Structure 1
Amino acid sequence: VPQLVRAMKDDEDGGEAFANRLLTLVMVALGLIVAVAVLVAPVLIQLMSNTIADDVAANSVAVTFARYCLPTIFFMGVHVVMGQILNARGKFGAMMWTP
């Protein structure tokens, strides 16, 4: 937030370019992290629980569930960054109503 506020005060465009670059960087980084996490979901399940990994049916369900839930990392991360951009602009209402 401090960097966003500084950019809003110092930059000619009111920090718009800085906020756009920040959001783009976060989206690309989180997209790559999520893509890798979804691809290595079987390994993650094995690292977290050998008991589940040894049971074929439970492992299949756990990997499917992980692949279904891991993309939320992307959406939560983008949500947080957009919320911080709104906070830096003095707009608190939208984040007040989010979980």
Structure 2
Amino acid sequence: MNQLFEIYETLRHFGFCFNQSDFSVHWLGRSRCYMSYLKRTGADPSLTSMKLLVARLEAEVELAKHSGEEAFYRPMRSALVAARTIHDGVYELKYVPPFYRITAINSS
């Protein structure tokens, strides 16, 4: 889940969260230890957490778009695209037969 940690770093860089615990609670809607758990076990994030992250990033990207600051908008937009990709991959791994998967990531 390197992409999720990159999203966290982007949000931390812009002051949206202070540490992984803060990110886990406020952006993923989980316990303070959720990011540590994902890192330790290599598990995929939950669909609910990813959907929440996508929704919150969409709102922030819309604000960034209207701010006119490219240095802020581009990284936030990249974080949103990465979050959507993770969400789609996790969804496919859980619900789509292997033959039909398009964006699913290899969890091994």
Name the TM tier (shorter chain).
0.3 to 0.5
TM-score by length of 2: 0.35
The structure with the largest helix share of the pair is 1
Which has the bigger relative contact order, CA under 8 A and spacing at least 6? 1
The normalised TM-score by structure 1 is: 0.37
Whichever of the two has the greater Rg, that structure is: 1
